[in-house]
Amino acid sequence: MYGTVETIPDLCKRCYSCVRECPAIAIRVEHGQAVVMSERCIACGHCVTVCSQNAKHTKSEAGYVLGEVIPRGNVVAVVAPSFPASFPENFPKVASALRKLGFSKVCEAAFGADLISPKYLSEIERNGKKTIISSACPAIYNYIEMYFSELVPKLAKIVSPMVAMGRYVKETFGKDTSVVFIGPCIAKKSECHDEKVEGAIDAVLTFAELKQMLNENNIDLSDLDESEFDPPEGLVGKSFPLAGGLIKTADIPGDILEKEIIVVEGRSKVEEILHELLNNKINARFIDILFCEGCIKGPAIDSNLNYYSRREKVINYIHDRMRAADKQVWKSNIYNARNIDLSREFENRDKRLPAPDEEQIKEILAQTNKFSKQDELNCRACGYLSCREYAIAIAKGLAENDMCLPYMIDKLEKAYKELQETQEQLQSAEKLASIGQLAAGVAHEINNPLGTILLYTSLLKKDLEKKLESHQPIEDLELIAEETNRCKNIVSNLLNFARQGRLKISDVDVYDLINTILKPVRVRPEFKGISFSVECEADDTTIKGDSDQLKQVFMNVINNACEALEESEQKRVTIKISKDDTFINIEIKDTGSGIPKENMGKLFTPFFTTKKMGKGTGLGLAIVYGIIKMHKGDIRAASDPGKGTAFNIKLPLNLQ
């Protein structure tokens, strides 16, 4: 299949306008790019007209015409009758411009329309009550052959005006004559390469391509003289680009025209009428169909005029030429062309893809978070009429999940939230790393003098016990020793905090480790009255990790849970262990006073504590956080003030 339209990847911006407008669903989205599939494309050109980014490119034959066709000599330009709409100011000079480019002759394609029009009247009369569909528009017969193949037998086996004119030129001026068609239609490019009409036309140029060629060759229409087209001149065929133009040209009798003729133009109406025909709901004898709203709205008309101004330009041109035309010469030319073969065949080129089953559609909808009818917003941002149509397109390999805007917004919000959490964790990790370096230095510097103070306090205490009867100095020294020991504990915690990077990896049974920690905790007097329960849903709770450091993690969290129960009526600590394919999950939950919302973000910050003076250093959870991160795990807290707190710890089964 000749690839008439292509996508320019760098310009495609995920707007999916082309997907929305493509009647053949001939656009596959790949990595966000809307790629035209030449094997499915009917060359209607709608994707070109709706693309605001100019990302759809029509294959140009301008270089081929200028570089190869014209230099061969004996080349005829055949111009579509809609040209006054594309060159509204200088259309009488178009023929002069084409001759200046190097064309030997410049003829009107309208004469080709005059040639085929009687064939339609004969076809209608010959087929009786059977429905006939016009075949002048290549986008229409492409569409029928590929997506409404049951209707192929209804297509009139008559060539288009372009092909009729091409055959006439080669028959009249010689087989070695090259013919270049120039018009507003992109689909004509695909027709030119159609094997069933091969040889009639050598190349197709759009009006946009012609203007570019004139510009590149410094040909200004305003500098040229007006000139006539070369014979044969078209007559009624000049009305072909207007809606119902074929009907007017064919001179169909009024009784048939009133009751049994339907004229259809425009994409949405075309789809509607073809579906009606497919379902046997239309019984008209003749249906004249154009994919565009007349050829004056062709995708390559390249005109700033609106529809009505274009129509007026073409009608004025028709009236002027009809008055000046020599009808006898026209009739003579028509008669002389009576033996030219103006027939053609059509074939079944069915490109419809098999529809997915209902289960597959539901599965695809679920992938974009659509589990019920209420979830199907049908916003059409993806280019499809409904979420269901979109799911079907995915099943057929024509679309991607990332085309759904609501789904992508939800996905983006989730990713943004995760990014925020990761940034917060990274900031905490950076803080901890800096504090860890500081802690190592401070601990080293303070530990030695503290040891000396403690030693000499002990010596002085022993000496005073022998000499003094009063116990007051001894009690003071005991206080000094007690506070010095507290300082040493703080320093010890600082050292533990600073040494988190060193792991001694071995097999650790988390369930056994927690039960080992709970044994002394259960009998501590200050934790009397607390009930402990350990629920294990995993058959194997062994992981790779540092046993001593993990013991410190669970001991810290369990002790904190117990201390939070000091003023609670219900004193309960519940530990749940579960696992999945990659992680073991431990939830440690208490029924304590909970943590205020404003403190949740500070939990793992060094030296932050809500405990009473002298009961905590604020390093416990910071150390826990560091150990968990060194084990490539995660720890999170959730709290309901007045009802309790739950710490969720995730540790990988295999530490690599």
* pLDDT higher than 60, residue 444: no
Residues of CATH 1.10.287.130 domain(s) within the chain?
Answer: 404-499
Q: If you average pLDDT over every residue of the chain, what do you get? A: 85
CATH number of the 1-59 domain = 3.30.70.20
Is pLDDT larger for residue 214 or for residue 7?
A: 214
pLDDT tens-digit map of 380-390: 888 888 888 88
* pLDDT higher than 90, residue 400: no
Q: Which of 162-176, 177-191, 425-439 has the lowest mean pLDDT?
A: 425-439
- Measured CA to CA, the distance from residue 296 to residue 101 in angstroms comes to 24
Residues of CATH 3.30.565.10 domain(s) within the chain?
Answer: 503-656
* pLDDT higher than 50, residue 68: yes
Full DSSP string of 395-464: HTTS--GGG-HHHHHHHHHHHHHHHHHHHHHHHHHHHHHHHHHHHHHHHHHHHHHHHHHHHHHHHHHHHH
pLDDT tens-digit map of 517-569: 998 888 888 888 899 999 999 889 999 998 888 998 998 899 889 988 888 88
* pLDDT higher than 80, residue 360: yes
- Measured CA to CA, the distance from residue 344 to residue 146 in angstroms comes to 17
Burial (Cβ within 10 Å: 0-12, 13-18, ≥19) of residue 628: buried
pLDDT tens-digit map of 117-146: 989 888 888 888 889 999 999 999 999 999
Residue-level pLDDT at 403: 83
pLDDT tens-digit map of 366-383: 888 888 888 888 888 888
Is pLDDT larger for residue 82 or for residue 255?
A: 82
What amino acid is encoded at 1 in this protein?
M
- Measured CA to CA, the distance from residue 371 to residue 303 in angstroms comes to 47
**Mean of pLDDT values over 482-497:** 65
Residue-level pLDDT at 614: 46
pTM over 0.75, yes/no: no
Band of residue 493 on the pLDDT scale cut at 50, 70, 90: low
**Mean of pLDDT values over 632-637:** 90
Q: Does domain 503-656 have CATH number 3.30.565.10?
A: yes
Coil vs helix vs strand at 323: helix
Burial (Cβ within 10 Å: 0-12, 13-18, ≥19) of residue 286: buried
pLDDT tens-digit map of 177-227: 999 999 999 999 999 999 999 999 999 999 999 999 999 999 999 999 999
Cis peptide before 232 (omega within 30 of 0): yes
CA 482 to chain centroid, in Å, comes to: 68
Residue-level pLDDT at 254: 54
* pLDDT higher than 60, residue 350: yes
* Strand duo 531-536 + 572-579: pairing: parallel
Angle CA 174–180–184, to nearest 5:
145
Residue-level pLDDT at 88: 92
Is pLDDT larger for residue 180 or for residue 392?
A: 180
Residues of CATH 3.30.70.20 domain(s) within the chain?
Answer: 1-59
Fold (CATH) for 404-499:
Helix Hairpins (1.10.287)
Residue-level pLDDT at 197: 94
pLDDT tens-digit map of 447-465: 666 667 777 777 777 777 7
% of the chain surpassing 90 pLDDT = 40
* pLDDT higher than 60, residue 501: no
% of the chain surpassing 70 pLDDT = 86
Residue-level pLDDT at 498: 55
Is pLDDT larger for residue 296 or for residue 423?
A: 296
Assess contact for 110 and 164: CB atoms under 8 A.
no
